[in-house]
Structure 1
Amino acid sequence: MSETIDTLDFRRDFPHLDRCIYLNTAATGLAAPGTGEAAARMYGELQSRGYDAQPLWMAERRRVLGLLARLLNVEADWIDFASSSTDALTRALQALPLKAGERVVVPDDDFPSVKAALEDLKSRGITVARVPIADEAQRTEALIDALPGASLLAVSHVHWETGTRVDLARLSAACRARGTLLAVDGVHAVGAIPVDASLADVYVTSFFKWTLAGFGLGLGVVRPALRERLEPRQRGYANLAPSRLLAHSHANYPGIFVLGAALDYLEKLGHARIENRVAKLQAELSARLIADGFAVATPPEAAAGIVALKVPDPEGLARSLDERGIRTSPRGAMLRLSPHFYNSSDDLAACCAALVTLAGQDA
């Protein structure tokens, strides 16, 4: 199989690309072909057979768990389904065997859901320390420096605003050397870069971004050594005590069917080929913008699909681009652009040309 992808081969699978330049996958990816039909298949079975179709649901669940285990480099029984990455992270953090007086750390600028999931720990007498990040290129180092005395580090694999990817292997080694648990939100990573979720004690994600499978389904990966110590606070028929499982009720089976179709599509293209193309597009876009005089916040050696621009008015600039048919997202002090494998170099050139024109108008 070729190591490269020709976008012309499959742009027809994403008709929205005929109507706009879509550089907003880190917000929501375009749904993979076949996903709507997969959901309809699940509901069609419910309509025609009701509970008699349960063996089909369970077989698809097992199949999709196998696809996910291969994608994330873990065993299928490490995975609990949830409704979102936030749901999976909250369940896991609530269940951690942490005691009053212990200390957990999180980047001060991490995604609001990651920080909010830690707030419940304060009611248990646990200290939550927020680590300031002064330099994007030193994000991993700043977190390692904050580890002494910490029982837990919670962090996004890829930063939601700047697009900076932490060095997960280094964080994992540093945490294990100190006996610190590592919880990682991978929602901006999975599908864009290779992910080894086994490096974390807890790794969560959902599937509406780079994996093109829409909303309503997430997962949490828990290493077996930690699983045996969990104390789930959300209980239901699916995890009655003394179970250590975090999933407490039905999974979103229509979502699982949709995810299966999306993963089948992505596997056919080849995850490595997709990841290589995302990296190529990110590097090309970043280089074009730097050459045009823009301030790119994303460190090139720690990029993961996202290009973040430091601009005076991200929201206004995103609106102006939107009027020109170019989809991006304002995120904090940044304008975030996120090309996926279905984008072309022409898309990037058109976006950069529009940005140069708008910058000239504002000068």
Structure 2
Amino acid sequence: MELEQAQKLWQPEPGWLNTASYGLPPEPVWTAVQDALADWRVGRTSWEGWGEATERSRAAFAGLVGVPVADVAVGSTVSQLLAPVAAALPAGATVVVPEVEFTSNLFPWLVQQERGVRVRTVPLAGLADAIEAGTDLVAFSLVQSADGAIAPYAEIVAAARAHGALVVVDATQACGWLPFDAGLADVVAVGAYKWLMAPRGSALAYLAPSLRERLRPDAAGWYAGKDPHFSYYGLPLRLADDARRFDISPAWFSWVGTAPALELLAEIGVPAIRDHDVALANRFLAGLGRPPGESAIVTVEVPGAREKLERAGVRAAVRAGRVRASFHLYTTVDDVDLALEALTS
């Protein structure tokens, strides 16, 4: 599907520049969720159809990030999906993380400090150089939530491999607009409610087969079973042989919306979305006299930004006087120009 054709599936109010907080659902997502809610309200259907959306989502995500579907686990949040990785670190392990890292990819490592796990923070630009002998794991966001900085993924992976360190990536702010190969890392976790435009409550993770051998599925339930529908009752323990053993029981309506969102992204193609998003981000930067960048998330400092944007009806994140604007496939030139007019008036 051409991007211009796909854009007709959204009807956002003008001025939404905040996908880095949450994405907007296209019509197929909205309709699927409303239909499921209507069926639930009156008991019109059984739940199995809602559950099938989870498997559609798993397959679509695997295709988007270039990994086998058997290596994808489903959950509800990034931190929950990272928890078994953190718990499997050896006592006294060393973890290296950027200084300004979203805490979903920081707190799971910090809570292991009582076992002697040491977390060392360094500037993102120096992350690869900070990986050294004795580093057990490096964790970072592929795109930083705070300012849209894109991590040097291949460089960090190469440094980690040279020293035998695991690589854990939070791709929540990247997946859906930035093409990347999840298989380079050991773990790539994604919350689906931002650039994947799904309802909040669904998350996915690539878990490399070699890593899974070290992990214990402490949250295992019926959905982690080899055949979930024959895992309702009783002994013995019979978990899936692949990444599904780390699944948690899906929040049905979140996944009902996640599946069509991911399938639409796959149909449009992430490279085309990246080109659109970054072009709009650079139009915004140029309008403020800033040099172009490569990210769909940008931050700029403008005096009185919050009040100016609110008066114009523009919704963007403003923190400590800095505007964080984010641009996705439903963003238009008119949205960008509305924000520029507000900030430069």
- Same fold at TM > 0.5: yes
Distance 1:333 1:147 in 2: 34
Q: Which amino acid aligns with 1:324?
A: A
Matched-pair identity in %: 29
Other-structure match for 1:86: 79
Maintained 8 Å contact 1:153/1:182? yes
1:94-143 deviations in Å (ceiling 9; x for gaps)? 3x3x2222211111211122221211110111111111x2xxxxx34x00
Maintained 8 Å contact 1:234/1:246? no
1:30-109 counterparts in 2 under 5 A? 30-43=24-37, 47-50=43-46, 54=48, 56-57=49-50, 59-94=52-87, 96=88, 98-109=89-100
Match of 2:312 among 304, 324, 348: 324
Tell me how large the CA RMSD over aligned residues is.
Answer: 2.5
**TM-score normalized by the length of structure 1:** 0.82
CA distance change for structure 1 residues 48 and 234 in 2, over 3 Å: closer, same or farther?
same
Q: Which amino acid aligns with 1:27?
A: S
Which stretch shifts more, 120-129 or 235-244?
235-244
1:1-363 counterparts in 2 under 5 A? 5-6=3-4, 9=5, 12-17=8-13, 20-43=14-37, 47-50=43-46, 54=48, 56-57=49-50, 59-94=52-87, 96=88, 98-131=89-122, 133=123, 139-140=124-125, 142-148=126-132, 149-239=134-224, 243=239, 247=246, 249-290=248-289, 300=293, 303-311=294-302, 317-331=305-319, 334-357=322-345
Deviation at 1:332, TM superposition (A): 5.5
CA distance change for structure 1 residues 350 and 58 in 2, over 3 Å: closer, same or farther?
closer
Q: Which amino acid aligns with 1:347?
A: D
Distance 1:61 1:16 in 2: 26
Maintained 8 Å contact 1:33/1:262? no
**TM-score normalized by the length of structure 2:** 0.86
Maintained 8 Å contact 2:28/2:261? yes
Distance 1:246 1:338 in 2: 35
Which stretch shifts more, 41-50 or 117-126?
41-50
Distance 1:352 1:44 in 2: 41
Specify the SS of the correspondent of 2:73: strand
Maintained 8 Å contact 1:161/1:334? no
Distance 2:253 2:188 in 1: 23
Maintained 8 Å contact 2:58/2:73? no
CA distance change for structure 1 residues 235 and 269 in 2, over 3 Å: closer, same or farther?
closer
Maintained 8 Å contact 1:26/1:210? yes
1:55-93 deviations in Å (ceiling 9; x for gaps)? x34543333222111001111111111112232223432
Distance 1:307 1:235 in 2: 39
CA distance change for structure 1 residues 250 and 195 in 2, over 3 Å: closer, same or farther?
same
Alignment: residue pair count? 328
Specify the SS of the correspondent of 1:30: coil
CA distance change for structure 1 residues 10 and 318 in 2, over 3 Å: closer, same or farther?
farther
Distance 2:104 2:146 in 1: 13
Structure 1 unaligned runs (5+)?
134-138, 358-363
Specify the SS of the correspondent of 1:182: strand
1:274-309 deviations in Å (ceiling 9; x for gaps)? 122112212222222225xxxx7xx82xx3200111
Maintained 8 Å contact 2:177/2:277? yes
Other-structure match for 1:361: none
Structure 2 unaligned runs (5+)?
226-236
Maintained 8 Å contact 1:322/1:328? no
